[in-house]
Structure 1
Amino acid sequence: MTKTIPTDKARQGRWGSQVLVVLIAALVLAAGAWAIAEIYGEATDPQNPGQAEQVEPAAPRPSG
């Protein structure tokens, strides 16, 4: 004999607040990683990009 289960009890689960907490935590972590990358990028960026030191290629040695 088949057992009939009510539709509200047959569900696997509800979205609930745990999913919201996980999504918000992931968003906060992503924003934190982005902020760290921005700070690091600004710290390593040269102050005057037009005045950056350019290295001249060495002149080739004459063969012979």
Structure 2
Amino acid sequence: MPETNRKTTPQDARQGRRGFPVLMVLVFGLLLAALVWWGVEVYGLMLDDQQAIEMPAAQDEPAS
């Protein structure tokens, strides 16, 4: 690879100068995780109301 005598400016050396800012990606990721969590909670509550409650048989019958 040929060597160049070009000096690197601070603007060229800086990373992340284009694209989404990292903070926005983190905020949207957190909001998406909260939305998914809420959906799972609602789904779990709907399932809980639909399940029949099974009670164990009474064990207090007198012995014969």
TM-score by length of 1: 0.55
Residue number among 14, 19, 22 corresponding to 1:19 in the alignment:
22
Stretches of structure 2 that go unaligned for 5 or more consecutive residues are: 56-64
Superposed, 1:21-60 pairs within 5 Å as 21-46=24-49, 51=54
Stretches of structure 1 that go unaligned for 5 or more consecutive residues are: 53-64
Post-superposition offset of 1:5: 1.8
Equivalent residue pairs, number: 53
Post-superposition offset of 1:6: 2.6
Identity %: 38
RMSD: 3.5
Post-superposition offset of 1:13: 2.6
Greater helix fraction, Structure 1 or Structure 2: 1
TM-score by length of 2: 0.55
